Amino acid sequence: MPDPATSTDRVPTIQLQQVARSYGHGASQVIALDHIDFTVQEGEFVALMGPSGAGKSTCLNMLGCLDRPTSGHYFFQGVDVAYLSGEKRALLRRHFIGFVFQGFNLLNRTTALENVELPLIYRRVPAKERRRRAREALEKVGLSGREKHTPGELSGGQQQRVAIARAIATDPAVMLADEPTGNLDSAMSKEICHLLTQLNQEQGLTIVMVTHEPDIAEIAQREVHFLDGRLATDVSREEPSA
């Protein structure tokens, strides 16, 4: 497993080398990723874009160890994790990766604070420390005072803030965000974009985000476009939009 204490600034947080992913065989085979090379440095904010079926979501699943390559290598903090056992991949997700989803994935009858505590329970963090870290995460996303609210008592934007707080409560090495503004109106989308930018620029959180919206992608430092399972373009910008 990766060990942050031994990593250096020269080792990318994420590195895919000739990663391919296909499903099925023969005439029915679908190539989702076609031998891609892709690197994310610590502290980067990268947007993955492309039409439906281009490979961006498959790539994100690969980065989150929710899927594994058909061939190629995936290095996480310098360690090849592509073919780890299911148990070890679960440990990697639990300790190093925070997830944010389009649909929030909150427990409806559970308070905001309890939702944020969930990944810390899986890590067996003691109750007092768990509660402290969950409150701190909610404060970082601007939800102090809403700890006892259930998702039904929060707006869509606030629910996504709870989901982001849950993702950062474990102090992950990287956050993977899958269409994080997809269920939000334009005003709430701007709020979430501002929050993600803050987490990246002020706290140095590494973020990889899938989006199909060009204006959302503009908050990232890099835009990587997928087409037919391949990387079509990889463009960096000096000044991301706030």
| 66 to 18, 60, 62: CA distances (angstroms) | 18, 9, 6
Indicate whether 241 belongs to any domain.
Answer: no
What's the total number of domains in the chain? Answer: 1
Q: Supply the pLDDT for residue 132.
A: 97
Show the tokens assigned to 230: 């391949």
Tell me the average pLDDT across 198-208. Answer: 95
Summarize pLDDT for 161-194 with one digit per residue, the tens: 999 999 999 999 999 999 999 999 999 999 999 9
Indicate whether 44 belongs to any domain.
Answer: yes
d(C-alpha 233, C-alpha 103), whole Å:
28
Collapsing DSSP to helix, strand or coil, 46 comes out as: strand
- 240 — pLDDT class (breaks 50, 70, 90): low
Question: 14, 63 in Cβ contact below 8 A?
Answer: yes
Question: 170, 201 in Cβ contact below 8 A?
Answer: no
Tell me the average pLDDT across 13-21. Answer: 97
What one-character-per-residue DSSP string does 180-211 give? Answer: TTTTS-HHHHHHHHHHHHHHHHHH--EEEEE-
Question: 36, 18 in Cβ contact below 8 A?
Answer: yes
- Average pLDDT of the chain? 92
Indicate whether 22 belongs to any domain.
Answer: no
Summarize pLDDT for 52-96 with one digit per residue, the tens: 999 999 999 999 999 999 999 999 999 999 999 999 999 999 999
Show the tokens assigned to 142: 């601007």
Indicate whether 134 belongs to any domain.
Answer: yes
Helix axes 156-168, 127-140, angle to 10 degrees: 130
Indicate whether 171 belongs to any domain.
Answer: yes
* Residue with the two structure tokens 């492309």: 50
Indicate whether 75 belongs to any domain.
Answer: no
Domain that holds residue 95: 40-68+85-236
d(C-alpha 91, C-alpha 149), whole Å:
30
Look up the CATH number of the domain holding residue 112. Answer: 3.40.50.300
Q: Is the pLDDT of residue 5 over 60?
A: no
Bridge partners for 31 per DSSP: 22
Indicate whether 184 belongs to any domain.
Answer: yes
Indicate whether 220 belongs to any domain.
Answer: yes
